[in-house]
Structure formats: C-alpha cells, structure tokens
C-alpha cells in the first residue's frame, strides 16, 4: 500500500507523505530509517513491529456517510443530482489516473472515498491495490480470488484472472448509490444482497 501510494500524485487520491517502522507505542525502529518495500516489509513482520503510514488529512465523514445523510433527510432533488455528478466526475478522474499507472484499486466503495477539508473527493485505502498488465499482453496476471468487499466486487473477482475493469464495475455501483435514493439500510442490503447472491 505504501509503495503504491508513494507513486500516486492526483488531487482526488489521498496523498502519501511518509512511512516508518515502529513498535506498538509508535517508537521508531532505529535499525530502519527508510520505507523501502524490502526492508520495511521484513521489519514490519518482526514481532512487535508495525508499518506506520502518514497520509493527507481528510474529513472523518466518508462518501458512505454522505449518501446515508442524503437518503435520510432529503428526497431526490436537483441539488443532490448536481453534487452527485460533481463527486462522480472526481471519482472517474481518480480511477482513470490509477489505471494510467497500471494499478487496480480492487476495493472501491463509498467507505473508502473521503473528502479533503475543502470538500474535494479523495480515494483512499490502497491496501488491496495490485498491478495491472498491459492491454497488449496476451495473458492476464494470475491474482488472488475474492479480494475486495463482496457487495462491490465485479463477478470476475471470484476468478483468478481479471483486469482494471473490476474498478469500473465498482464505480458503477457507487454511482448508482449516489444518484438513486435508497430509503433504508434494509433496502440497500436487499438490493446489494440480490447482486451478491447472483455472484455466488
């Protein structure tokens, strides 16, 4: 995650600042002053060692919270549609950039989309990010099955070969939630649950 974030520089992606290996109390590991994947990976797997990642500050409220508030307090209206369109366009810009870096997020969902203090959309949580292969490659990369959040996963994520289109699928589900008023959590669970069952 730290390695992927360090290569990304886009207004709609949570900005990576620094990372370090430390103990549970946050005390630095003096044997490691870098954040290289090979070194920190071995140190962070040592007993009592953790990888800390310092990222851009975002608001506590996520897109998931915003959608819930919209559905609770206000009916469908032109203001919501305008705000939803603005958010959707920012998500599209970020996903397009991630894919241009030959990466797949694999866990796009409203809970992983945050906002900066100025209200700008920030995609975060790159814990499941993976490399994508070139469009001209004859064979797709073999991947781990079932990585992501089940209710937002593309059907092909249950297989071992898939590409960046899985992020497009997840984005489509997010846009559905943005633009369509779902009155209750039960209704959302029912809609998403039916989709999940169709997967299995």
Which active-site residues does the annotation give?
107
Q: Which long-range contacts (CB under 8 A, 24 or more apart) does 125-128 make?
A: 126/1, 126/4, 126/5, 127/1
Pull the structure tokens for residue 161: 């070969």
Determine contact, residues 162/156, Cβ cutoff 8 Å.
yes
The answer to whether the CB of 125 falls within 8 A of the CB of 108 is no
Neighbours of 82 (CB within 10 A): 10
Reference 154, options 140, 142, 166; nearest CA is 166
Place of tokens 């814990």: 127
Q: Could you tell me which residues come within 8 angstroms of residue 195 by beta carbon, excluding any fewer than 6 positions away?
A: 151, 173
Q: What 8-state DSSP symbol labels residue 92? A: H
């Amino acid at each position: 995650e730290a390695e992927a974030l360090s290569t990304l520089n886009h207004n709609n992606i949570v900005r990576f600042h620094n990372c370090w290996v430390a103990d549970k109390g946050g005390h630095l590991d003096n044997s490691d002053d870098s954040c290289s994947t090979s070194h920190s990976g071995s140190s962070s797997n040592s007993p009592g060692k953790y990888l800390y990642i310092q990222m851009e500050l975002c608001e506590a409220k996520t897109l998931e919270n915003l959608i819930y508030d919209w559905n609770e307090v206000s009916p469908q209206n032109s203001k919501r549609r305008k705000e939803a369109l603005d958010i959707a366009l920012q998500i599209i810009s970020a996903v397009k950039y991630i894919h241009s870096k030959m990466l797949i997020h694999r866990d796009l969902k409203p809970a992983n989309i945050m906002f900066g203090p100025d209200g700008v959309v920030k995609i975060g949580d790159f814990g499941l990010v993976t490399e994508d292969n070139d469009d001209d490659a004859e064979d797709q990369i073999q991947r781990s099955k079932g990585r992501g959040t089940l209710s937002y996963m593309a059907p092909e994520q249950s297989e071992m070969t898939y590409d960046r289109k899985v992020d497009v699928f997840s984005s489509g589900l997010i846009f559905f939630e943005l633009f369509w008023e779902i009155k209750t959590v039960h209704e959302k669970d029912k809609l998403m649950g039916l989709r999940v069952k169709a997967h299995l």
